[in-house]
């Protein structure tokens, strides 16, 4: 081939390239880009493919850890202030996974401390993520904002439908920092928030895999992550039993009750749940002992048609019925104590998974008595009354009946009325059972719609256990059942300080301190009057007597109001105690004349009260910080004698 032919061919190739360069150049660039993408993907997956299994226990405090090779999806993940942080605002969805995996059959507990900012919309844990589809095949538990309140949400993610919630538990209080515990069993999982079980026994769709962290929108941080193997999740769910009696038993023993400070939040019932359907109960209103009963503490077993709590070593062992929400109902529960004496019932529970917000009636585990009240959102118990019994429950069967109306409830024991028109803290909710220091068998739970009083079956003439009538709390606040009657206390024989006969009550100790005698009366508006005699002994110049009222707890000073004589009767002062029991004075007055006996009278109305001594009005419109509570006699030093103590319930206006 001569040179002329070669030149012609070159010219034709050049012409062809020039005519088609707009096509050839982009294709070449695409090819180069594909090479670089392939190289990057190779480095990405090749670096992560050999990630290892967890060696348990595993802990991560994020003090010194590189997260460059962790699996991430969205968000800006950094280590800041010795914590793992999602630092960006406006993140639609952010996830980061620890580059280790769990065996498919692994039972474990994952714990982490979470801090959410005001702009955080959701924050929590992703778990059992299936490699390599860790973002589309996983379970997820998180705390989310819903308007002004928070809620715990648990569910799973699938490839087709995205996130599928399994349960949502709303909260009435606002949390910013909390501990989230995830307990994963063979086929179910449970969730605890600050030590309180909030989600129980939800089915697992994925097993084993990766665990990580999840965040939406504003900044949030994670710290102190621990991952440990667990042999028995049900045991791990049970809180360590306390060794001391809880506050309600203390109140019955006439000691100052203690507060339970377990942080947790209650679960308000949504509007869609608020109408009680009763449809799951059947025609006979019997609640079956089936899978709708969810234990949140204790060792509960269904045996031979009964539901038994087997562990007699702790307090507040409870189980809730998640089958229905009830409103305006009658609840009847039959039980027998196999060991101890602390069985009872729960009702109007905001959630069947915890005590927070629930009303309770149960036997005392320390005294021959029953008592009732409710738990607030932080699990502090507020007692509303107690009644002493003439015998312990023993191992015989007994039946509680609770008649819960719109604003009040009544209590019956073995068909005998114990207390009527007790104020409700909430008017609807779930039902449950509870024990304290006892092994109890429940063989019947029945719920029916509340009937008018005229339709109720007549009370049995002979109750199984008789209740002593005199100490029964007078909770009815509108009738004047006590008007004109002289109050007579039922004092135990071993009372060291107080003695009483038909019309006279005396505090005998001369020690310079306050002595309170609870009157077993809880009321809002009333008039109380008595004659107080002080000793004429000049060696006791500070001796005084009066009343303490609107006590949140029997025999407790905190938040209560007080008015009493002082300086041996030379004066009178009044005021209230703050949350810590510190006295806040509201006024004082000198009394004219000298006497040993004083006619002492207080007229308590809705928002203020009046103090009258020896027929003379000392002070009017003294403001109240509380509108109801327990009433008691108060003596400072002694001996102080109270005669003809009378109380008339109801407004004096």
Assess contact for 267 and 351: CB atoms under 8 A.
yes
What is the 8-class DSSP label of residue 17?
H
* Domain 53-232 superfamily per CATH: Exo-inulinase; domain 1 (2.60.120.560)
What pLDDT shows up at residue 618?
87
Domain boundaries, the chain: 1-50, 53-232, 266-455, 498-649
What pLDDT shows up at residue 566?
87
Pick the more confident residue, 246 or 337.
Answer: 337
- Per the structure block, which two tokens stand in for 603? 């007229």
E strands in 490-639: 498-500, 504-507, 514-523, 526-533, 544-551, 561-566, 571-577, 583-590, 597-604, 608-613, 616-623, 629-636
* Banded model confidence at residue 17, pLDDT cuts 50, 70, 90: low
* Banded model confidence at residue 334, pLDDT cuts 50, 70, 90: very high
Instruction: Give me the mean pLDDT over the 58-84 stretch.
Output: 89
* Banded model confidence at residue 162, pLDDT cuts 50, 70, 90: confident
DSSP per position, 66-94:
--TTSEEESS-EEEETTEEEE--SSEEEE
Pick the more confident residue, 208 or 367.
Answer: 208
pLDDT at 359 over 60: yes
Instruction: Give me the mean pLDDT over the 379-400 stretch.
Output: 83
DSSP per position, 121-187:
EEEEEEEEEBTTBTTTSEEEEEEEEETTEEEEEEEEEETTTEEEEEEEEEESS--SEEEEEEEE-SS
Residues 6+ apart with CB under 8 A from 562: 546, 547, 548, 549, 574, 575, 576, 577, 583, 634
**Alpha-carbon distance values, 608 to 333, 524, 623 (Å):** 41, 11, 4
pLDDT at 265 over 50: no
C-alpha angle with apex 412: 493 to 448, nearest 5 degrees?
160
The DSSP bridge pattern shows strands 210-217 and 91-97 to be: antiparallel
DSSP per position, 182-195:
EEE-SSEEEEEETT
Instruction: Give me the mean pLDDT over the 262-280 stretch.
Output: 32
What pLDDT shows up at residue 248?
43
What pLDDT shows up at residue 338?
94
**Alpha-carbon distance values, 50 to 45, 46, 67, 82 (Å):** 9, 7, 16, 27
pLDDT at 538 over 70: no
What pLDDT shows up at residue 26?
66
Pick the more confident residue, 36 or 586.
Answer: 586
Q: What is the mean pLDDT of the chain?
A: 78
pLDDT at 569 over 80: yes
Assess contact for 207 and 104: CB atoms under 8 A.
yes
Q: What is the pLDDT of residues 275-316, one digit of tens each?
A: 334 444 444 477 788 778 888 878 888 888 889 999 888 778
Assess contact for 106 and 189: CB atoms under 8 A.
no
Pick the more confident residue, 554 or 279.
Answer: 554
**Alpha-carbon distance values, 132 to 48, 97, 213, 395 (Å):** 10, 12, 17, 59
DSSP H or E segment with residue 10: helix 3-48
pLDDT at 469 over 90: no
- Per the structure block, which two tokens stand in for 240? 């360590």
pLDDT at 613 over 70: yes
What pLDDT shows up at residue 358?
93
Give the C-alpha separation, 586 to 347, whole Å.
40
The CATH number corresponding to 266-455 among 3.90.580.10, 2.60.120.560, 1.20.1250.20, 3.30.390.10 equals 2.60.120.560
Chain position carrying tokens 């997956």: 45
Q: What is the pLDDT of residues 171-222, one digit of tens each?
A: 655 567 888 889 998 888 988 887 677 787 788 999 999 999 999 988 999 9
Domains 53-232 and 266-455 share a fold: yes
What pLDDT shows up at residue 36?
63
Pick the more confident residue, 316 or 439.
Answer: 439
DSSP H or E segment with residue 222: strand 220-229
Look up the pTM and report it. 0.42
User: Residue 607: how many CA atoms within 13 Å on its side-chain side?
Assistant: 0
- Per the structure block, which two tokens stand in for 310? 């087997």
Proportion of the chain above pLDDT 90, given as a percent: 27
Would the CA dihedral through 280, 286, 289, 294 be positive or negative?
positive
Helix H, strand E, coil C: the string for 269-281 is CCHHHCCCCCCCC
Pick the more confident residue, 390 or 49.
Answer: 390
pLDDT at 599 over 50: yes
Bridge partners of residue 433, in order along the sequence: 319, 345
Give the C-alpha separation, 572 to 271, whole Å.
52
Q: What architecture (CATH level 2) is domain 498-649? A: Sandwich (2.60)
Assess contact for 342 and 222: CB atoms under 8 A.
no
Lowest mean pLDDT among 45-59, 132-146, 432-446, 519-533: 45-59
Helix H, strand E, coil C: the string for 335-404 is EEEEECCCCEEEEEECCCCCCCCCEEEEECCCCCEEEEEEECCCCCEEEEEEEEECCCCCCCEEEEEEEE
Assess contact for 614 and 599: CB atoms under 8 A.
yes
* Banded model confidence at residue 593, pLDDT cuts 50, 70, 90: low
Instruction: Give me the mean pLDDT over the 82-110 stretch.
Output: 90
């Amino acid at each position: 081939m001569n040179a002329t032919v070669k030149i012609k061919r070159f010219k034709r190739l050049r012409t062809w390239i020039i005519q088609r360069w707009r096509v050839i150049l982009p294709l070449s660039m695409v090819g180069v880009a594909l090479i670089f993408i392939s190289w990057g993907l190779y480095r990405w997956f090749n670096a992560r493919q050999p990630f290892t299994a967890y060696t348990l226990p595993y802990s991560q405090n994020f003090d010194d850890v590189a997260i460059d090779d962790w699996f991430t999806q969205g968000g800006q993940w950094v280590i800041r202030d010795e914590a793992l942080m999602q630092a960006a605002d406006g993140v639609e969805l952010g996830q980061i996974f620890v580059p280790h995996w769990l065996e498919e059959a692994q039972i474990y507990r994952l714990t982490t401390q979470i801090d959410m900012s005001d702009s955080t919309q959701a924050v929590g844990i992703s778990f059992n993520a299936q490699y390599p589809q860790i973002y589309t095949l996983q379970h997820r538990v998180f705390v989310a904002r819903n308007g002004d309140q928070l809620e715990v949400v648990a569910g799973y993610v699938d490839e087709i439908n995205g996130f599928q919630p399994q349960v949502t538990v709303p909260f009435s209080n606002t949390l910013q920092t909390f501990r989230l515990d995830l307990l994963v069993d063979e086929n179910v999982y449970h969730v605890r928030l600050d030590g309180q079980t909030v989600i129980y026994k939800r089915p697992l769709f994925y097993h084993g895999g990766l665990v990580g962290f999840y965040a939406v929108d504003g900044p949030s941080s994670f710290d102190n992550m621990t991952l440990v193997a667990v042999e028995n999740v049900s045991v791990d769910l049970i809180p360590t039993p306390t060794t001391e009696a809880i506050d309600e038993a203390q109140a019955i023993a006439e000691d100052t009750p203690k507060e339970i400070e377990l942080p947790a939040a209650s679960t308000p019932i949504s509007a869609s749940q608020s109408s009680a359907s009763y449809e799951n109960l059947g025609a006979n209103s019997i609640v079956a002992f089936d899978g709708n009963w969810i234990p949140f503490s204790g060792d509960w077993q269904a045996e031979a048609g009964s539901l038994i709590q087997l562990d007699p070593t702790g307090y507040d062992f409870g189980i809730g019925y998640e089958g229905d929400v009830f409103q305006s109902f009658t609840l009847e529960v039959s039980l027998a104590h196999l060991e101890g004496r602390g069985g009872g019932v729960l009702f109007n529970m905001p959630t069947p998974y915890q005590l927070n917000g629930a009303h309770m009636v149960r036997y005392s585990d320390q005294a021959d008595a029953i008592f009732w009240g409710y738990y607030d959102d932080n699990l502090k118990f507020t007692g509303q009354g107690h009644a002493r019994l003439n015998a312990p429950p023993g191992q015989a069967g007994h039946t509680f009946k609770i008649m819960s109306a719109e604003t009040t409830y009544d209590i019956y024991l073995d068909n005998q009325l114990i207390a009527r028109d007790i104020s409700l803290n909430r008017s609807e909710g779930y039902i449950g059972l509870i024990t304290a220091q006892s092994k109890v068998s429940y063989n019947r739970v029945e719920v029916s719609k509340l009937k008018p009083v005229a339709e109720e079956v007549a009370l049995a003439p002979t109750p199984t256990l008789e209740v002593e009538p005199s100490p029964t709390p007078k909770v009815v606040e509108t009738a004047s059942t006590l008007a004109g009657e002289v109050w007579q206390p039922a004092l135990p024989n071993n009372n060291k300080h107080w003695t009483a006969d038909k019309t006279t009550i005396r505090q005998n100790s001369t020690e310079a301190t306050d002595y309170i005698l609870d009157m077993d009366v809880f009321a809002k508006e009333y008039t109380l009057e008595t004659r107080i005699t002080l000793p004429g002994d000049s060696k006791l110049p500070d001796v005084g007597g009066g009343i303490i009222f609107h006590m949140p707890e029997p025999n407790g000073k905190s938040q209560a109001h007080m008015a009493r004589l002082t300086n041996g009767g030379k004066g009178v002062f009044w005021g209230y105690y703050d949350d810590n029991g510190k006295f806040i004075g509201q006024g004082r007055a000198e009394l004219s004349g000298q006497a040993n006996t004083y006619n002492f009278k207080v007229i308590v109305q809705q928002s203020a009260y009046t103090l009258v001594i020896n027929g003379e009005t000392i002070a009017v419109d003294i403001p109240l910080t509380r509108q109801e509570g327990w009433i008691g006699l108060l003596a400072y030093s002694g001996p102080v004698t109270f005669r003809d103590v009378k109380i008339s319930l109801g407004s004096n206006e």
